[in-house]
């Protein structure tokens, strides 16, 4: 028998969540495009699997790796494909030109590379503005150099201005960054007719005024909530990935007995515990401590002690019908990944992206 752990990917739920993103985009009353973000192997869900599921509905795709973008083109995807970090060298730029990819441009040197390739063709670009995230992009101080570089670059066909929100999911919100975005545009009169792309998942759901021409939802597509105070279910989102396994063994332990490496959990009463076929080598967070939620026979219980490489332990004391072979959900359908991530001190993005290659994946 094969090891019982597996990840199930619900493609109907993926399409449902994309539909919610599209519905939100319509709130602004514009014909806004919604580019699903499929970077990091579609947040661990499988690039080609996700892209194929959205092939007939997606307005385009956004990702990082040029090779992944080329793979989509070779698989017959004709929609716009945005490279969120742009091109890194001349070879990347040549691939962009050959396959008509849309690079983000976030430093002046990239315009120099575009000029050197001008004879090859022209490309639309997303010019990234740094409005407070302080990772990539041009600030107000860079506007003069940016305008000159763009004016000198005939290889650019169309321009979309983009920025990324740092706290759309938090108390600070987006207004301060929108103000900086508008301030940069005020210094750049010829940009007033450029398209705009600002909204990520959190902004799409909470700040419809930021939706503009192109939205770039990520985690919401996969059934995760971008907010600490609002569940995915309350947003109408459905889980796409369900990580499941089974109980391998059951033990009765006495008060005072410890569980797992380091004996970090000590029973304060007689307990019934279950060993589950899932560990950190499968992508489950090793730092998930006692109390992380887990579902056994459809009943919510808790993990006990440290997560091992291939196994973890859970509390079955109150689940009388649990036995060897009982189904276990680590996260997904019936147990939000957000709840597991919160208990483990992380975010659902990390859970999804960390899914190990050894875990079999099935589509449902």
Residue ranges for the binding site for substrate? 135, 309
Distance, CA of 155 to CA of 86 (rounded, Å): 15
Helix (H) or strand (E) holding 242: strand 241-253
Give 228's strand partners: none
Region of 30 (left: φ > 0; alpha: ψ -120 to 50; beta: rest) is: beta
84 within 8 A of 39, measured Cβ to Cβ: yes
Tokens for 66, please give them: 């040029």
Report residue 61 CA to chain centroid gap.
Answer: 13
30 within 8 A of 51, measured Cβ to Cβ: no
Percentages helix, strand, coil for the chain (3-state, rounded to 5) are: 35, 25, 45
Nearest to 69 by CA among 56, 88, 8, 111: 88
- Reduced to 3 states, what is the DSSP secondary structure of residue 335? strand
Active site residues: 39, 261
Strand blocks (E) in 129-194: 156-162
Burial class (CB in 10 A: 0-12, 13-18, 19+), 318: exposed
Distance, CA of 217 to CA of 338 (rounded, Å): 17
- Reduced to 3 states, what is the DSSP secondary structure of residue 201? helix
**DSSP code at position 169:** T
The 10 Å Cβ neighbour count of residue 187 is 14
């Amino acid at each position: 028998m094969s090891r019982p752990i597996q990840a199930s990917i619900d493609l109907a739920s993926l399409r449902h969540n994309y539909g919610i993103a599209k519905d939100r985009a319509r709130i602004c009353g514009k014909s806004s495009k919604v580019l699903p973000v499929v970077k990091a192997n579609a947040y661990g869900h499988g690039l080609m699997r996700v892209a194929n599921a959205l092939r007939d509905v997606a307005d385009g795709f956004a990702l990082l790796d040029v090779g992944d973008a080329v793979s989509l083109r070779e698989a017959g995807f004709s929609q716009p494909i945005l490279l969120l970090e742009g091109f890194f060298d001349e070879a990347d730029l040549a691939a962009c030109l050959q396959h008509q990819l849309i690079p983000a441009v976030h430093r002046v040197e990239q315009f120099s590379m575009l000029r050197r390739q001008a004879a090859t063709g022209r490309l639309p670009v997303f010019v990234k503005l740094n409005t407070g995230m302080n990772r990539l992009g041009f600030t107000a101080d860079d506007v003069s150099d940016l305008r000159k570089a763009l004016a000198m670059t005939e290889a650019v066909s169309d321009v979309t201005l983009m920025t990324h929100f740092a706290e759309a999911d938090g108390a600070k919100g987006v207004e301060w960054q929108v103000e900086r975005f508008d301030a940069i545009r005020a210094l750049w009169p010829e940009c007033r007719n450029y398209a705009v792309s600002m909204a990520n998942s959190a902004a799409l759901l909470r700040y419809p005024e930021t939706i503009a021409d192109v939205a770039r939802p990520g985690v919401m597509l996969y059934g995760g909530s971008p907010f600490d105070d609002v569940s995915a279910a309350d947003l109408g989102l459905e889980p796409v990935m369900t990580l499941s396994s089974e109980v391998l063994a059951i033990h009765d332990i006495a008060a005072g007995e410890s569980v797992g490496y380091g004996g970090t959990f000590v029973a304060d009463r007689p307990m019934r515990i279950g060993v589950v076929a899932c560990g950190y080598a499968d992508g489950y967070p090793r730092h998930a401590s006692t109390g992380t939620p887990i579902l056994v026979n459809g009943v919510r219980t808790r993990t006990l002690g440290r997560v091992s490489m291939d196994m973890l332990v859970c509390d079955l004391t109150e689940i009388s019908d649990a036995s060897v072979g009982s189904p276990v959900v680590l996260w997904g359908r019936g147990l939000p990944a957000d709840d597991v991530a919160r208990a483990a001190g992380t975010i659902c993005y990390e859970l999804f992206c960390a899914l190990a290659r050894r875990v079999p994946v099935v589509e449902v």
